[in-house]
Structure 1
């Protein structure tokens, strides 16, 4: 491995600003902000808008909302069809 061409690879704390979740991973990201982690060490802090802690795909909120929308749309389109038919058996 050549010296001086690779970025520094170390621990960085990422914070999800939408839900407040924090996690520490190794990364090449740089930041001027720092935070004291649970182990007492100071690490660079990178703020994120969305992470797996708040993204609808991982939390399941998107699937539930879209399913409710589908049911309402079905009832709106076909709910009247089943009630408007009379029971003419003849």
Structure 2
């Protein structure tokens, strides 16, 4: 690999404003703001709108589709006999 072509990776805090949660990880993201972390060190902070702490898929709050309504609509449109043939 060629040297000096990759950006420098360093510890960065990603803060999810929706869930009020912060994660310390390594990243190449740039930020002018800083935050004092739990270990007493100061790290750059990047605010994000959504993360695994607030995303509906990861939190289990995702919406369930109304499949019963779809079945009823299919039966109204094609009749009950079409649903029984399969």
Give the structure-2-normalised TM-score.
Answer: 0.72
Deviations 1:20-79 (A, max 9, x none): 1001000111101100000000000000000000000000111xx315x445x37xx48x
Q: What residue number does 2:3 align with? A: 2
The counterpart of 1:66, out of the listed 40, 60, 64, is 64
Q: Which runs of 5+ in 1 are unaligned?
A: 79-90
Q: What residue number does 1:51 align with? A: 51
Task: Give the alignment's Cα RMSD to 1 decimal.
Answer: 2.1
Count of aligned pairs: 73
- Greater Rg over alpha carbons, structure: 1
Structure 1 segments, 4+ long, off by >6 Å, are none
Equivalences for residues 10-89 of structure 1 within 5 A: 10-62=10-62, 65-66=63-64, 69-70=66-67, 73=69, 77=72
Give the structure-1-normalised TM-score.
Answer: 0.69
Q: What residue number does 2:82 align with? A: none
